[in-house]
Structure 1
Amino acid sequence: MPDVQAVVARAKNEPVRVETIHVPDPGPGEALVKVQACGVCHTDLHYKQGGIGDDYPYLLGHEAAGVVESVGEGVDDVAPGDFVILNWRAVCGKCRACRRGRPWYCFDTHNATQKMTLADGTELSPALGIGAFAEKTLVAAGQCTKVDPSTPATVAGLLGCGVMAGLGAALNTGNVQRGDSVAVFGCGGVGDAAVAGASLGGATTVIAVDMDDRKLEWARQFGATHTVNARNENAVERIQELTGGFGVDLAIDAVGLPETYKQAFYARDLAGTVVLVGVPTPEQKLELPFIDFFARGGSLKSSWYGDCLPERDFPMLIDLYRQGRLPLEAFVSEEIGIGDVEEAFTKMHAGEVLRSVVVIK
């Protein structure tokens, strides 16, 4: 049972700190992974703030890549030495979604059975079942996806959450097609990934919407053909102007506020699609004239983890990165140490970075 250094949130809104934790040797169906890099995601901040639950203490970090160190009984998909991206939706293969050939909707995803603990034996709750702001972490083997080992861990790990969510919202959930027009509301990490996905999918008009000119400039780096600062102009009207008065084929809400969803809803063409990938809070309410749902037709979708299937999507996206067609490195604003996570949360909340990435030596 190795003892390692890891970032722990002990209580709501308390500063996180680096502590020694115990990581069990892998049991049946589990894998021990030596973490090399892990992105600092908004979800980790939500855990710290109590926005996801109160099952403290939390072992934070989930957007990670590393090398499998050992595996438990019955594991044959990965082996010691494999370079892997960690994912938080290890599919079961048995539920009604999996049996119908739709494993990206799996209703019974799973994590490691054994618990990692603090030095005093207190059980930790790993963020999204991963807990990767740590030198080593224990996961279900199905949470490990092998990719090309020549890929830098600092970019590979980003596919484990935010970047995959945005890319998948455009490519998988939104099913962007060649020649489509797309609007993306919110140009943080997930939104810019959606912009990149729309561009990869062949959209000829990609409109980025935000209230921060710095973020809009970031969006241009990922393929936005037009930008709209919603602080200065009516976003819906401007999008209609840019699309001949019709609206876009696909509108993606990467914010998750009632206001941005309404903008996405009305910014699409009559038979257009809206995809919600930004995460709302439980108390938020959405009110729209019911007739507008009928009058506009089209599709309203929610995107779970970009509707991704890691074993299908991660290797493909890494190949696109290696071909120079997917600029994953542009998401990395800074590389930091394991003791710098609290400061990274401050920068992220202020909108100063797309991604801070913890590098673990």
Structure 2
Amino acid sequence: MPQQVQGVVARGKGEPVSLERITIPDVGPGEAVVAIQACGVCHTDLHYREGGINDEFPFLLGHEAAGVVESVGPDVVGLEPGDFVILNWRAVCGRCRACLKGKPWYCFDTFNATQKMTLDDGTELSPALGIGAFVEKTLVAAGQCTKVDPLADPKAVGLLGCGVMAGFGAAVNTGGVGRGDSIAVIGCGGVGNAAIAGAALAGATTIIGVDVDARKLEWAKKFGATHTVDSRATDPVEAIKELTGGFGADVVVEAVGRPETYEQAFYARDLAGTVVLVGVPTPELKVELPMIEIFGRGGALKSSWYGDCLPSRDFPMLVDLYRQGRFDLDGFVSETIGLSDVEAAFATMHAGGVLRSVVVL
């Protein structure tokens, strides 16, 4: 029988979200129903509400989530009711050209649930990033469920579903930061601080956090920054060079998504160094750089998709590190809220007052 649950819906561009009754269909082939325990409030959800992703309203928001599998489709293997899972928005297909090359973290044909959840009047919902987790239960593709240690706190580990994984992976997977390396992270919100924490875990010895907000710079120190730069008062490029022997950092992670900060990242790296863009830009933004500088500096300019993660590999590993006390996921949880508080949480997030608000069900 279809189920009725409560969830947070964005009905139109820029409109306040509303708590609505939602119908979940019976689970079908390749699908799973997951009872959500916790879901982080990510900036991507606000992008959806503002029409910055697409215009396929109404959206069922939320995607940074952990919960317990309630039911699975008849053909699903390796996943059972009662499994504790983190939801991921890149369920790899195993068949596309990236997967067949042994690079499934670049999968070009990720998949979601086939059926649609609906409002009371039958209107189909577009789930944010194919998940839609500001809801008591959600319908996803079984491959979007990654089993992890059931003793882990869902408030903390659910954040691996998007922002924390994106930042950690930008530094470690995409940037390849390692022992003895230097790294600068421009933008010390949730994603940027996850990059800092990842760099510290990987053995980087010079870790520089850059931001315009003193609160965020204090957060950066908490997650492992050895130095911080207030770019309102100091030229960040010159400051990063000064902190790295005049050369620039081996890796610079740009976690803002702005042309001016990307240019700072480009010039703040060492020769043959790497720039990683993980901040999400809006479509109209453009970067202009002299081609001779691109050629002459060598190295790599990379974009990081979801931290170039493979959920089946990375989520359990990071949860284990969290359980061992080596990766402070609890530190990203600024406050816990209810489903009815999501609109207020958007305002708090926009003001920069939290790393993450987390909806607890």
TM range (shorter): over 0.9
- 1:282: how far off? 0.9
Q: Write the mapping of 1:100-249 to structure 2, written as runs, cut at 5 A.
A: 100-249=101-250
Tell me, in whole angstroms, the C-alpha distance in 1 between the residues paired with 2:312 and 2:89.
13
CA deviation profile, 1:92-148 (whole Å, cap 9, x unmatched):
000000001000000000000000000110000000000000000000000000000
Across the aligned residues of Structure 1 and Structure 2, the Cα RMSD in angstroms comes to 0.4
Counterpart for residue 324 of structure 2: 323
Tell me, in whole angstroms, the C-alpha distance in 2 between the residues paired with 1:15 and 1:39.
18
Tell me, in whole angstroms, the C-alpha distance in 2 between the residues paired with 1:346 and 1:70.
35
Counterpart for residue 263 of structure 1: 264
Tell me, in whole angstroms, the C-alpha distance in 1 between the residues paired with 2:14 and 2:283.
19
**Aligned-partner residue type, residue 99 of structure 1:** L
Which stretch shows the higher mean deviation, 70-79 or 349-358? 70-79
Tell me, in whole angstroms, the C-alpha distance in 2 between the residues paired with 1:294 and 1:131.
43
**Aligned-partner residue type, residue 147 of structure 1:** V
1:47 equivalenced with 2:48 (yes/no) = yes
Runs of 5+ consecutive residues of structure 1 not aligned to the other structure? none
CA deviation profile, 1:247-300 (whole Å, cap 9, x unmatched):
000000000101010000000001100000001111111001110011100011
- 1:77: how far off? 1.8
Counterpart for residue 66 of structure 1: 67
Tell me, in whole angstroms, the C-alpha distance in 2 between the residues paired with 1:177 and 1:118.
48
Report the 3-state secondary structure (helix = DSSP H, G, I; strand = E; otherwise coil) of the residue aligned with 1:347.
helix
Report the 3-state secondary structure (helix = DSSP H, G, I; strand = E; otherwise coil) of the residue aligned with 2:177.
coil
Tell me, in whole angstroms, the C-alpha distance in 1 between the residues paired with 2:161 and 2:78.
18
Tell me, in whole angstroms, the C-alpha distance in 2 between the residues paired with 1:198 and 1:63.
22
Tell me, in whole angstroms, the C-alpha distance in 1 between the residues paired with 2:98 and 2:255.
25
Report the 3-state secondary structure (helix = DSSP H, G, I; strand = E; otherwise coil) of the residue aligned with 2:334.
strand
**Aligned-partner residue type, residue 60 of structure 2:** L
Counterpart for residue 251 of structure 1: 252
Tell me, in whole angstroms, the C-alpha distance in 1 between the residues paired with 2:286 and 2:336.
38
Tell me, in whole angstroms, the C-alpha distance in 2 between the residues paired with 1:310 and 1:288.
34
Counterpart for residue 288 of structure 2: 287
**Aligned-partner residue type, residue 130 of structure 1:** I
Tell me, in whole angstroms, the C-alpha distance in 2 between the residues paired with 1:264 and 1:236.
8
1:334 equivalenced with 2:335 (yes/no) = yes
- 1:65: how far off? 0.2
Tell me, in whole angstroms, the C-alpha distance in 1 between the residues paired with 2:301 and 2:291.
14
- 1:25: how far off? 1.5
TM-score by length of 2: 0.99
**Aligned-partner residue type, residue 55 of structure 2:** D
Q: Percent sequence identity over matched residues?
A: 74
Tell me, in whole angstroms, the C-alpha distance in 1 between the residues paired with 2:241 and 2:292.
21
**Aligned-partner residue type, residue 128 of structure 1:** L
**Aligned-partner residue type, residue 200 of structure 1:** L
- 1:26: how far off? 1.0
Tell me, in whole angstroms, the C-alpha distance in 2 between the residues paired with 1:156 and 1:40.
13
Q: Write the mapping of 1:301-316 to structure 2, written as runs, cut at 5 A.
A: 301-316=302-317
TM-score by length of 1: 0.99
- 1:177: how far off? 1.2
- 1:74: how far off? 0.9
Report the 3-state secondary structure (helix = DSSP H, G, I; strand = E; otherwise coil) of the residue aligned with 1:278.
coil
Runs of 5+ consecutive residues of structure 2 not aligned to the other structure? none
Moved segments of 4+, more than 2 Å: none
Q: Write the mapping of 1:23-102 to structure 2, written as runs, cut at 5 A.
A: 23-102=24-103
CA deviation profile, 1:16-36 (whole Å, cap 9, x unmatched):
010100011210000000000
Tell me, in whole angstroms, the C-alpha distance in 2 between the residues paired with 1:11 and 1:177.
44
The alignment covers a number of residue pairs equal to: 360
- 1:73: how far off? 1.7
**Aligned-partner residue type, residue 51 of structure 2:** G
**Aligned-partner residue type, residue 4 of structure 2:** D
- 1:156: how far off? 1.1
Tell me, in whole angstroms, the C-alpha distance in 2 between the residues paired with 1:199 and 1:318.
16
Tell me, in whole angstroms, the C-alpha distance in 1 between the residues paired with 2:312 and 2:25.
26
Counterpart for residue 274 of structure 1: 275
